[in-house]
Structure 1
């Protein structure tokens, strides 16, 4: 059983801002229903690019629900530029921490937020830099490298816990290991 903080339990048992947001003018989606976790984030943004309201729909575990709920609470009232600076660690910190095996849920929130901001601004995100390693969760080699360096990830399991990469069909596990080894070799 996961060791959840009281804040995580509260946001899971009594999630805030759940459901489709009427009048939303920005939507960001991430994850994959086929592979286990998915999030759709709705924003209502005014002409000054201030987030007036936010809601979510998610398919996932307690951490996914809690992270999504927390994210909506964090960003309400922020400008898009302020919200764009929100990291997955900010979401986790707001919840008093997440188990390392569940950090990917906060990463999913950060990803959906970036996509919603791009959607509002009419910016099409064509593709991420780098090569796709995990097709289930759309994770690139550069994202893995950044996460390994920034968070001291050492194993394939660490990468899966943090980014969800390898947590679906598992066909990318060898490639994740190759990326990890290349980072270690460059030291």
Structure 2
């Protein structure tokens, strides 16, 4: 059911914890289904210098958080913004359809953290993309 990559990132998640000097923080989740994801970014000179996460949820949510942090670390803010849930799922060598919302949470948490950074810098937040009603309802509970 789960790929080796999912199991690896679940058992040995990368970049876990908080960043004391984060300059962008994004939190998303649906308390009803239990998945809550918080991303901490440290951006310097338009580069994601460091990234951490705290996720409360299933193994797929933890693996998605871990992989997403690996995919954007060292990237420009624009490259990090372009991360998609599909790219997270592909990097994990697939997620079961009922767990795809976990990769959406990772994408949205990174977007919220980047917009938090942009607002802190006096910049306009970027427009977040919307997902299908089914995915939105699963992620946000409404």
TM-score normalised by structure 2 residue count: 0.87
Q: Which residue of 1 aligns with 2:34?
A: 36
Structure 2, unaligned stretches of length 5 or more? none
Question: For 1:40 and 1:165, how far apart are their aligned partners in 2?
Answer: 19
Runs of 4+, deviation exceeding 6 Å = none
SS at match of 1:57: strand
Does 1 or 2 have the higher relative contact order (CA < 8 Å, sep 6+)? 2
Cα gap change, 1:120 to 1:88, in 2 (>3 Å): same
Task: Provide the aligned C-alpha RMSD in A.
Answer: 2.3
Counting matched residue pairs gives 138
2:60 pairs with 49, 53, 63, which one? Answer: 63
Question: For 1:120 and 1:143, how far apart are their aligned partners in 2?
Answer: 23
Question: For 1:106 and 1:89, how far apart are their aligned partners in 2?
Answer: 7
Structure 1, unaligned stretches of length 5 or more? 130-141, 146-158, 173-187
8 Å contact kept, 1:31–1:108? yes
CA shift at 1:165, angstroms?
Answer: 1.4
Instruction: Map 1:20-99; keep pairs closer than 5 Å.
Output: 20-46=18-44, 48-99=45-96
Cα gap change, 1:84 to 1:9, in 2 (>3 Å): same
TM-score normalised by structure 1 residue count: 0.67
Cα gap change, 1:166 to 1:114, in 2 (>3 Å): closer
1:121 pairs with 118, 121, 124, which one? Answer: 118
8 Å contact kept, 1:84–1:113? yes
Cα deviation, 1:25-45, whole Å, max 9, x if unaligned, reads 110110133441110000110
Q: Is 1:144 equivalent to 2:142 in the alignment?
A: no
8 Å contact kept, 1:88–1:109? yes
CA shift at 1:22, angstroms?
Answer: 2.2
Cα gap change, 1:165 to 1:96, in 2 (>3 Å): same
SS at match of 1:109: helix
CA shift at 1:167, angstroms?
Answer: 7.3
Question: For 2:138 and 2:23, how far apart are their aligned partners in 1?
Answer: 33
**Structure ID, larger Rg:** 1
Instruction: Map 1:102-121; keep pairs closer than 5 Å.
Output: 102-121=99-118
